[in-house]
Amino acid sequence: MSSELKAELNLDKNYQIGKVDERIYGSFIEHLGRAVYGGIYEPGHPKADEHGFRKDVMELVRALRVPIVRYPGGNMVSAYNWEDGVGPKEERPQRLELAWRTIETNQVGTNEFADWARKVGSEVMMAVNLGTRGIDAARNLIEYTNHPGGTYWSDLRRSHGYENPHNIKTWCLGNEMDGPWQVGQKTAYEYGRLASETAKAMRLVDPNIELVACGSSNTDMPTFAEWEATILDHTYEQVDYVSLHQYYGNHENDSANYLAKNMDMDHFIKTVISICDYIKAKHRSKKTLNLSFDEWNVWYHSGEHDKKLEPWTIAPPQLEDHYNFEDALLVGSMLITFLQHADRVKMACLAQLVNVIAPIMTENGGRAWKQTIYYPYLHVSVFGRGVSLQPILSSPKYDSKEFTDVPYIDCAAVLNEEAEELSVFLVNKHLSESISLTADFRSFKEYRVLEHIVLENDDLKAVNTAEQQTVIPHARGDASLKDGTLSVNLSKTSWNVIRLGKRQTFESA
């Protein structure tokens, strides 16, 4: 049945935004709640390997093809002594973890996490403590992880059973240093100077690393924009990326407004790009600074529960948002937003990966399962590798409480020329109507539709549990391609993945 609402799309393989850096599909594991203990690591679990890592969780992470994982924080890194988490486990101290007011056992540290990352096929994005510590601890840590041997810290690593260096190439210079909740909060000037000098020392140890400077904690910070301009004035030639962090929630139960919030993310990205380019011009620099959106997600469901937690316990269930169907739609739109800025957003980390505001949930001693947001993350990570194309979209629009001229349809497209595949990602935000989309695909005449995956549910508040996967995708979409025209009906409030490939490739297979 055709819809009264219609949209048009023009997609041409020559209209390109930029190559997609696969690291935009990164994630984040912090020593927070049950992300580590009870999440990725649970000795004694029936599915734990010989090192205590849960194999069921590793299987779900591998399926996501997560290319890079940020570690160990997050807020906790600003009072973290990395030395506590290396060496014989029986000698490691338990510490008060000040950011989340828990007990940190340090049974997982730098080496264990590097091991886990290798097992799941990911690189490590390591953060250094610029809250209570600084240059010395950072240069010692990178010597420990990256230097081959023959020095105090590298030989200490070797004595801990790691003959070869970890060669961690991506490093965050602190975390959210403008936040009053941060241990060791800094002014922009203080942070800019410290980050610049820390970067200098770290590059002397390993010149091949990439460094991320802390941008504002979020756009609501009173110093936002001025913070970025000031810290980049000090660090522009020393760093490769500036970070962005943003979370969204539906506190007022206004679904139409909630589903439009990726427009705020789009504005945030454009603003930070403009600041980077202003500093580039001011410094007469030839270098273009890129963006690392290394914390993003939906986060609002667990707030009341978290207020009731007793302090100073080990791995309590903190920030365990149980995501519903509309959360998955917004996550899909946020991923589309990254692809629309693939020329400048080169890294992003869904915060976080397991149990803590995460696509994967576990029971201690029990099952692991996929939350609703797992699916758009999976689809874009697996199928969104290649070159991001510029879609020319004409969509009906609506106004919401915070936003005007919100397109009902969000769209991104990625061309994988090597595999001769095209993936189109679409969200229909209309709460009650399907939308009929006609697309000019003349530059893809030789392609055919491989599959049309749809994530839909009549209940926006539907959730997945260990007992029942209520929100799961199906491949019964009706997309068709004929004579260079793609036709598809996008059902109300739906996430869609249309995969196309060259005819001869599949006819000869």
Indicate which residues carry an active-site annotation. Answer: 176, 295
Residue with tokens 């591998």: 62
Asked whether the beta carbons of 141 and 128 are under 8 A apart, the reply is yes
* Closest C-alpha among 275, 237, 412 to residue 335: 412
Sheet of strand 485-490, all strands in order from the earlier edge strand to the far edge: 392-394, 5-10, 435-440, 485-490, 480-482
* Closest C-alpha among 182, 245, 181, 247 to residue 212: 245
Residues in the chain: 509
Asked whether the beta carbons of 480 and 487 are under 8 A apart, the reply is yes
* Closest C-alpha among 112, 65, 30 to residue 356: 30
Q: Give the E-state strand segments of 129-258 in sequence order.
A: 170-173, 210-213, 241-248
Asked whether the beta carbons of 120 and 61 are under 8 A apart, the reply is yes
What does the DSSP 8-state code read for residue 73?
-
Alpha-carbon distance 280 to 215, whole Å?
Answer: 16
Q: How far is CA 83 from the centre of its chain?
A: 27
Residue-by-residue DSSP string for 226-295: HHHHHHHHHHTTT-SEEEEEEEE--TT--HHHHTTTHHHHHHHHHHHHHHHHHHHHHTT-SPPPEEEEEE
* Closest C-alpha among 110, 143, 112 to residue 126: 110
